[in-house]
Structure 1
Amino acid sequence: MNASTHYPDPTLVETATRHTLSVIVDNEPGVLARIAGLFSGRGYNIESLTVSETEHERHVSRITIVTTGTNAILDQIKAQLERLVPVHRVLDLTVQGNAIERELVLAKVDGKGEQRVESMRLASALGAKVVDATLTSFVFELSGTTEEVERFIGLMMSVGLVEVSRTGIAAMSRGAIGM
């Protein structure tokens, strides 16, 4: 309560932030559907999702999820994920603050003449490599942060971008200790 008024102080509005979650799960049918269902059933959005088996002998997979929410919502998401039976561990890489994140993009660019030369120059300057070339087009591959991928796509739009395929974010914490 403010001393000079009878009205309570306005409540603080917590802003939503982007978080990268790393989830270790059993690699079995239906696990991904259960996790996606947990998000959709509560109205949470998944901005990026990557999944791959990481330990073949133990049949364990890592799911990397990028989502946005307030701290309270993120705490709730993590708690609900940890309750799922096939989930071994949930780690919020954003809270740790020392994560490495990378994304892969394939970009098809149409071009002839000067446009072709410019697309090659821009791709080279950004560290992209050519994975396919014809007389009228290129497919470039670039790996980097989401911001680097976005910048690359924006530049390729100016020289004839035709199609884009992105992997989504793969992430892990720095240092010698694993999940």
Structure 2
Amino acid sequence: MPLNILSVLVENKPGVLFRVTNLFRSRNFNIESITVGLTEQQDISRMTIATKTDYRTLDQLIKQLRKLIDVIEVNILDLSKTVFREIALVKIKADNPTSRMEISHFSSIFRANILDISKDSMTVEITGTPDKINAFGNLVSNYGIIQM
């Protein structure tokens, strides 16, 4: 099924996120990713929701979202005109200088930021497409991913 990105403008009130995600749950739709943030208007938030579904089911989902009382507007984003980025924090086992040096090198290649170095681990922040993040995860998995 194709990936669809929805932009949902909602009233910035407690419980709205629950009601929107509960609609997905009750209809047995999976949310691939979700981001919520304030818009230029303090009383309105934007939810960006990624879901994999066919067009007919997506149309039904949009109609149901529009019926929710706190939903102001729902739009499907055109993937060809959308910049789609994710962020991941990856805590990697790095208990010796060689591992830390190699992980630093890989982080540099992927333009990731090293946020923390301890005696036995490193925490790296990587931003990009899901494919880029997965490629980085696969590369550093040999060292042992503690948390991602």
Report if TM-score (shorter chain) is over 0.5.
yes
Report percent identity of matched pairs. Answer: 35
What is the CA deviation profile of residues 150-178 of structure 1, one whole-angstrom value per residue up to 9, with x for unaligned ones?
111111212222111xxxxxxxxxxxxxx
From 4, 20, 23, the counterpart of 1:35: 20
Aligned mates of 1:107, 1:148 — CA distance in 2: 13
Question: Is the CA contact (8 Å cut-off) linking 1:118 and 1:159 kept in structure 2?
Answer: no
Unaligned stretches of 5+ in structure 1? 1-15, 165-179
Matched, 1:50 2:35: yes
Of Structure 1 and Structure 2, the greater strand share is in: 1
The residue correspondences of 1:97-112 to structure 2 (distance < 5 A) are 97-111=80-94, 112=96
The alignment's TM-score, normalised by the length of structure 1, stands at: 0.77
Given residue 34 of structure 1, which amino acid in structure 2 is its aligned partner?
R
The residue correspondences of 1:136-155 to structure 2 (distance < 5 A) are 136-155=120-139
Q: Which has the larger radius of gyration?
A: 1
What is the CA deviation profile of residues 86-136 of structure 1, one whole-angstrom value per residue up to 9, with x for unaligned ones?
111111114x63111111111111111322221111111110111111232
Q: Secondary structure at the match of 2:39?
A: strand
Q: Secondary structure at the match of 1:117?
A: helix
The alignment's TM-score, normalised by the length of structure 2, stands at: 0.92
Aligned mates of 1:70, 1:157 — CA distance in 2: 33
In the other structure, the counterpart of 1:81 is 65
Question: Is the CA contact (8 Å cut-off) linking 1:115 and 1:160 kept in structure 2?
Answer: no
What is the CA deviation profile of residues 14-65 of structure 1, one whole-angstrom value per residue up to 9, with x for unaligned ones?
xx211111111001111111111111111111111111222353x1101111
Unaligned stretches of 5+ in structure 2? none
The residue correspondences of 1:114-125 to structure 2 (distance < 5 A) are 114-125=98-109
Deviates more, 1:35-44 or 1:112-121: 112-121
In the other structure, the counterpart of 1:157 is 141
Question: Is the CA contact (8 Å cut-off) linking 1:23 and 1:91 kept in structure 2?
Answer: yes
Aligned residue pair count:
147
Aligned mates of 1:152, 1:86 — CA distance in 2: 39
Aligned mates of 2:116, 2:19 — CA distance in 1: 37
Question: Is the CA contact (8 Å cut-off) linking 1:20 and 1:92 kept in structure 2?
Answer: yes
1:74: how far off?
0.6
In the other structure, the counterpart of 1:169 is none
